[in-house]
Structure formats: structure tokens, C-alpha cells
Structure 1
Amino acid sequence: MVYKLMLVVGVIFLAISIYEFKRTIDFLGKSTRAIGTVTSLEENDGAYSPIFEIEIKNDNPVTYCLPAASNPSAWVVGEKATFLYDPQHPDSPRMMSYFWIFSWSLFFIAIAIPLIIFGSGYFLLNPMLRSNDLNTSRAN
């Protein structure tokens, strides 16, 4: 029963990962680049998160706080980074780096693959284990 559950959850997570990957590819197709500058560093529990001001074409600048923090700070005030944003929704930019763009699809696929391997492995090996048990019991 546990292996069936693992397989089902793995397939569900794989489907979510594929869906998130498709959404990301769609976002990349319609996104526009913008440059953001670190205006300040926000301290939270001894770690520092950069706060960016992103210059968006024909619009007011957008303030964005990176959801990652470090101590010491990985960013310096005045440092620049490239962002992507949807022109329809300029208030939700994403930093242009592999991790920040594909993070959710990577997260779900990293959980899905082991679950699918363990869940399907049971169903592939179970008939062989049963036939070995029958052969062993007949020999005795």
C-alpha cells in the first residue's frame, strides 16, 4: 500500500513539475528584461536581504525584496542585477538566474523522481520476489 501511495504522489508531483515548467517557459517567452539596483539591505535575524529598485519601461520603479538572506551580505548597495517581468504584470519580477526562474519545477521534480523510482520499483520487482518464494517453498 505504501508503494502505491509513493507512486501516486510521485506522479502527481511530476505533473505539477511539468505544469510549473510550462508556466515558466510561457513567462520567459513574454517577459521583458529590466535592471534592478540594490537600494538597501534588510536585516532579519542577523541575515541580510537585498532590496532592489527595478526600472521598468514606461512605468514607476518597482521595489523587490529578494527572498534569500545571508550573513555576511552577498549584495552591496549599488550593485545591479537583471530581472525579468511580464509587461502585463510588472509588479511581480523574477531575478534572471536559473534557480530563481525554475525553482518550483526543480523542487517538485526533485521529490517526484525518487518517489516514482521506489514506487514503480516495487511493482517491477514484486513478481520476481513472489516467483522466488514459490520456488523456495517447492524445493523444501
Structure 2
Amino acid sequence: MSALGLVFLMVGVGSLIGGLVAMGRTKSFLAQAREARAEVVAVQQRTGSNRQKSYYPVFRYRTEQGATKDVVSSVGSNPPRYKEGDSLAILYDPAKPDSVRIHSFFNVWAGALILGAIGVIFLIVAGITMATSG
């Protein structure tokens, strides 16, 4: 077994496990989540370590209990995807109303899918590397 094949194997298994954990957390979140309409009330600009700017929408929504919450999205973009006044569907956890996700397939499942896909790709490369390093 080559060292390179072993590295690909370890990264693949780790990513696949990470994807499965993320999927479990997402399913748990969805089991508790409530949907609400939110309005974008602001857009925060942040500069990353690479000096790239990203824009994070600030959502205002009302919980089932009638409380108004303002929450900054954990997902930013450049250019900004949302502007003040935009309305969109969100999912929130009633036990943790600051835990919010935009209600779209990508925003709900992206973490699990990306980690899982990386894991599968690395496992395929590991298999090829080990098979050809005979």
C-alpha cells in the first residue's frame, strides 16, 4: 500500500464520516424546525483573511410564540445575494431561535453533500492509487 493511497484513504473516510455526521445534524434540525417568512433588514459586509469581501443578510422574522428575532445568516456571498427589503422563507429551531437556515435545498443540505462528495472522490482516488501501485 502506497503512502499516497493511504493519505487519500484517510481523507476520504474522514470526509465521508463528516458528511454522515452533517446529514444526521441536518435531519435532526429539520425534525424540529419551523418555517417562517423573513425580511432582510440589513446586509453585513465582512472581509475575510484573503481580503475578499462577503455580504451576509440579516433576517428579521417572528417566531410561533410571537417574538421578533434578528439573525445574521451564516452564509455570505459576493456579490450580495439578498438586499434590504427582500422576503424569503427560513427554517428555525424553536428551542434555539437564533439557529436559522434559508429554506432552500442548497442551504439546508450543502454541508453534508459537499463533505460526502469529497469523501467519495477521495475514496475512489485511493482505490485507484492503491490498485496501480502494486
TM range (shorter): 0.7 to 0.9
Q: Any gaps of 5 or more consecutive residues in structure 1?
A: 128-140
CA offset digits 1:53-92 (Å, max 9, x no partner): 1211115222122331333x43232221111111211121
Q: Contact 1:49/1:70 (CA < 8 Å) preserved in 2?
A: no
| TM superposition shift of 1:43 | 3.6
Query: How many percent of aligned residue pairs carry the same amino acid?
Result: 23
Greater RCO (Cα-Cα under 8 Å, separation 6 or more): 2
1:61 maps to: 68
CA offset digits 1:11-48 (Å, max 9, x no partner): 12101101111211121122111111011233446654
Give 2:44's match in structure 1, choosing from 42, 45, 48. 42
RMSD, matched Cα = 2.0
Q: Contact 1:33/1:83 (CA < 8 Å) preserved in 2?
A: yes
1:90 maps to: 97
Give the distance between the partners of 1:101 and 1:8, measured in 2 at CA.
27
TM-score, L = length of structure 1: 0.77
Counterpart mapping for 1:119-130 below 5 A: 119-127=126-134
1:133 maps to: none
TM-score, L = length of structure 2: 0.80
Amino acid at match of 1:27: F
Where is the strand percentage greater, Structure 1 or Structure 2? 2
Give the distance between the partners of 1:120 and 1:56, measured in 2 at CA.
49
Distance 1:119 1:33, change over 3 A: same
Give 1:25's match in structure 2, choosing from 6, 24, 27. 27
Amino acid at match of 1:25: K
Counterpart mapping for 1:3-22 below 5 A: 3-22=5-24
Q: Any gaps of 5 or more consecutive residues in structure 2?
A: 48-52
Give the distance between the partners of 1:105 and 1:34, measured in 2 at CA.
23
Distance 1:8 1:91, change over 3 A: same
Amino acid at match of 1:52: F
Larger radius of gyration: 1
Distance 1:36 1:114, change over 3 A: same
